[in-house]
Structure formats: C-alpha cells, structure tokens
Chains A and B, each alone.
Chain A
Amino acid sequence: MTAAAKPLPQITPEMAPFWEAARRHELVVQRCRGCGEFRFPARDLCSRCLSREAEWVPVSGRGVIFSYVVMHQVYHPGFADQVPYAVVVVQLEEGARMLSNLLDCPVQDIRVDMPVEVVFEEVTPEVTLPKFRPRTPPGF
C-alpha cells in the first residue's frame, strides 16, 4: 500500500506568480506599489493604504522563526506518517510573514527567533513548495 499523497496548494490566480517563481526556485512576495508594504499571501487590496496596485518582487529568502506549532493530529492522510511535524511562521527580512515548514531541524530544537533560509521542495512537476531550514547566523 502506498502512502496517501499530501494535498497540493490550491493555486489561485492571485497566488499564481508565487508558485510560478517557486518552480524556478525563486521566492517572490507581493509588494504594494502605493506604500511599499510587503504582504503574504497575495491580496487585491493593500490593507494599509488601500491601493490596488501591487508587484511581485524577489526577496532574500532569509528570515527568523516568528512562531511555530507542532502538529500531532492527522487532519489529512497525506500527513499520517509525518506527525509530529512543525508548521512555522517565518518573519522574512523584507517584512512579510510566511507560513511554511522547517526542514533539517528536529521539532524539539525549533526556537522563536531562530535564523532560517528558504529551500525549494519539488513536490510534482507543476508544484514546488518553498520551505525553510536553519541558517548559520552571520559571524559564525
């Protein structure tokens, strides 16, 4: 018996540029042309300045763990052999926060403010998921 597949992200028109960039192993985030605020996920309206003008810009892929949880319940059969696994919120250097997973780090070693960097996990030929891994702090 093969393990159930994990669910794929629903790729909405608004978020399509994000997923297209991820396939090229680039991390892009939407930025408001009105006030310059980065935002994630994509929206058609800036909640700060109410501008509808926005652009997708490449970001460094560096950030820190803002918060994290460790999932122990199986809500989808695709995660049955993954529990316990971490879901993290990464505070990107540019400002936006991004929900993701942390690779190469046991769940008990995750800490708030831990420096992380993006990695790309190719899930299917069409879908690549940006994820994160611990980053050696500068100066180390």
Chain B
Amino acid sequence: MAAHPLRGAAAIVGLGITPQGRVYGRTPLGFAVDAIQLALEDAGLERSDLDGLLLNPGLAWNDLGMGSFQLQQAMGLRDLRLSAAMHLGGATACAMIQHATQAIAAGMCQTVACVFSDAPLKPPAPQGERTSSASAYGFARGWEQAYGYFGVNAMYALVARRHMHRYGTTQDHLGAVAVAQRRWANRNAQAQMHAEPLALDDYHRARWIVEPLRLFDCCLVSNGGLAVIVTGSERARNLRKPAVYIWGMGQGHLGGDPADTLTSGAVLAREPAFRMAGVRVQDLDLAELYDCYTFTVIVSLEDYGFCAKGEGGPFVAEQVTGPDGRLAINTGGGQLSSFYMWGMTPVSEAVIQVRGEGGRRQVPRHDLALVSGNGGVFSTHSTLVLSRHAS
C-alpha cells in the first residue's frame, strides 16, 4: 500500500516553553510572544521566517475572535499567509499542528507558529487577603448555581462516577494514574511537582475536590506560554534541532452526552491517524495522553486500544504506565504533575522525547509517539502520530 501523501510532509522543528506555573506580571499575549521567540530560537529560525500563525487563546485572553491578528501585530509579523485563532479547548494544540501541516502541504505557506498561552492565576493578595486564584475554571451556568453546581471539576466528576458505576473503576485506579505520572515528574526538573513525591497513600489522604475526584486527580493550573514551529520536511532537515515528523492526524468530536458514551473522541480520531501513519497501537514507543484528570487518561487508554473498553482502571493499577512500566505514558508528568498548557503539554513532551532530549526521563525507544488532545468534557478530540524519521 502506498504511503499517505501527507505522512511526513511536515515536521515540528522548534519548541518554546516559557516559565510555567505561578509566574506573574506577564499578559497572556506576552506569554505567547515569549513562547514563539523561544521556539524560533530553538529551531534556529528568525521571526521573518514565519508566514503562518495559529493561536489557541486560553481563558485569560477573553478572545473576541481576532486573537491571532492581535498577536501578529504585537510581535510585528508581516506578510502572513495563514492566520487563525482556534477554539477546541484541549484538542486545539494537535488541531493547530494538523492545520499547519495541511496548509504547508497545500503550498499555502511554509513555516507556521502554533501557540497556546494563558494567565488565569493572579498574584497572592497582600495581608493574606483571599483571592479567587483558580476560579477561572469554577464558573457556573445560569440556573445550575442555585444547586451549587460549579466548575469543570464537577462536570468531569459526573462522568467519572458513571464510569465507576458501569465498569467498576475505583479510587485506587484513579490514584494509580496520579502516582505513575508523579514518578515521571520527579525525573523532570521543569515539572511544577518535580520535588514532591506521591505514593498511593498520599493520594488517598489528600483532600476531596469533588467526589469522586481528589486533589491529585485534577490537573495543575499554570500561567505561561508554549509554542511549536511547523515547517515542510525538506526545510526541517537542515535546522538546528532534530525534526519531529508528523506521520498521522485525526480528529473526533462525538456530540451527545459523554456520561452516556463514557468515551472520548479518540474512538473516531485513532483510525484515520493510525491509517495515515501506517502504524498500529502496539508499534508506539510512547504516548502523551491529554490528562486534565486522572480519569481522562483511563478513558483515553481504553479508546486508543491500549486495553479493552472499561478495563482502563485495572490496566493502570498494574503499574504499567510509570517509569518502570512497559508503556511510556505521559513521561514528563503530564498536566497532573508538570504544567497545564492545555493540549500543548502533551505535544511538548512528545517533541522532547522523540528528539531524545528527555534527560533522566528519556525513554530508550523513541521513534514513534502518540499525542492526544481533549477539549470540553470529552467534547472535542484530536490525535497526532509523530516520528523521528521522515519516512
């Protein structure tokens, strides 16, 4: 069978990660500019080399729909041939890279910056005054506030409860994901939780956020920016860092109520992505799975076929996904333990691993990586298969 014409047509050639976490004094737009500059430097490219700009504005952007133009003006970019602000939540990062790849393959443009940034955390108030630090994610809809239903945590918790009811997933299963990823983060000096060990007992002792989710079931909230540069594979070969080739792409947006399906859009996205890449799930060396919650990882492992549907809980409880396990999953600590840049967190870790820049957390075989993005409450989904090789 002939290879897919877009397989390996483009590559990620630059990665820029600003300081992450409780970093204050910079606007979301400022973080985006910083991230793109870092990514250009990483690639050995100049600002003038960019002719495409894709932006995923985080919550603090309050984007009115022209965010990529604002960003273009802020950093003085001229003569772009591709520009868009994209809004698929945590699925946006992979989707931006997909659109960049398509546009490059179509000859519309040559070199595209894809960036996410946000600054939802406010500096601590003076004199111990209370602030609503992470409340950007604590919103309520219309009438639901009268019933005390607030926040994204609760929305996921409702779905997690159904999964526990239907498949017998337990608190120990959720905790196993948190523990495995923390062990990866302990090997990643850039992770916000790098210096904090976490055992299953610690997980159970931590406070409830929204039952059935405890503190360490929920991702971090981070200020910061993260950008990648995508260009055609010809040009990619001659740049500063090893190219990370885009082999497979897919999206899946199920619609309906995720509490009914208990699945992510990976069930739709995986087939075109794997077919384009010409790989099977067992060929992958590592997977960076979107992990807004421990529960999301369990569902994603099921939906990509690492285990059967409903068996994600017992699967992770066998400790297969930690640094000593047979599956390298979320090898930087993920959003649970490293930093929360929506879908850019898993993208960035895949780039680091495929390049072989993982240091103490580097996996020995890193030819082929899976990246997933998930937005809303299992509302949107995107998939990338990345390779160290052009073909």
Contacts and interface: CB of A to CB of B under 8 A. Distances in A.
B162 A9 contact: no
A9 B143 contact: yes
A67 B259 contact: yes
B143 A72 contact: no
Contacts of B145: 7, 9-10, 76
Size category of the binding interface on chain A: 35 or more
Interface in B61-87: none
Contacts of A68: 158, 161
A6 interface: yes
B140 interface: yes
Contacts of A100: 147
A101 B146 CA distance: 10
Contacts of A123: 146
Contacts of A82: 148
Interface stretch (B206-214, B226-234, B325-333, B364-372): B206-214
A42 to B, nearest CB: 10
Nearest to B153: A73
Given A68-B161, A112-B165, A87 B148 contact: yes
Interface in A35-91: 41, 66-73, 75-76, 79, 82, 84-85, 87, 89
Interface in A96-130: 97, 99-101, 107, 112-113, 123, 127, 129
B138 interface: yes
A113 B208 CA distance: 23
B147 A69 contact: no
Given A10-B143, A69-B212, A70-B211, A76 B150 contact: yes
Interface residues of B, number: 29
A3 interface: no
A71 B154 contact: yes
A1 interface: no
Given A76-B148, A87-B154, A99-B149, A67 B161 contact: yes
Nearest to B159: A67
Contact of A89 (B153, B158, B208, B210): B158
Contacts of B212: 69
A8 B211 CA distance: 24
Interface of B: 135, 138, 140, 142-151, 153-154, 157-159, 161-162, 165, 207-212, 257, 259
The 6 closest A-B pairs by CB, nearest first: A9-B143, A75-B150, A70-B211, A9-B146, A69-B157, A72-B208
Interface of A: 6-12, 15, 41, 66-73, 75-76, 79, 82, 84-85, 87, 89, 97, 99-101, 107, 112-113, 123, 127, 129, 131
